[in-house]
Amino acid sequence: MAIRNLRYDGDEILKKKSREVEVVDEKVQTLIDDMIETMHKYNGVGLAAVQVGVLKRIVVIDLYDDNGPIVLINPVILKTKGEQEVDEGCLSFPNQFAKVKRPAEVTAEYIDREGKRIRVKAKELLAQAICHEIDHLNGEVFMDKIIPGTLEYIEPEKEL
């Protein structure tokens, strides 16, 4: 496993649409492991492959609960319900946070790392994370969706 380099605001790749994964092979498994390790290193809730420079429809999400990381390959949102206004940040936009409107619930379908087709009904933070990461796969970033006037820059803590 390895920590991958994150891509940041201004990197053209973040505006590109990711391609479907045709085969879940060893190379894809290694990418998934690296993405999980990278997400954990930077304390992220989610990470899309494009954020480490790979245009593949792969997302990892960890709510830091007892379920561990979730791997979503070729995820698709089938339906949404309701709306929630949430605080959001992004590993590609360090120390920047804003309010965004997201669905309160989503039903999504994806392939897990074993190749099984999964359908999930997600609420609250998981719904938010799925929407945020699928946006990345479509070349969209949360900055495109922020509620005007809510963007904040939080100064990082200095290490002693």
| Catalytic sites, residue numbers | 133
**CA proximity to 96, closest of 36, 14, 8:** 8
Distances in whole angstroms, Cα of residue 117 to Cα of each of 70, 113, 120:
13, 10, 10
Contact 61, 49 (CB under 8 A): no
Pair of tokens at residue 20: 């479907």
What type of residue is 24? Answer: V
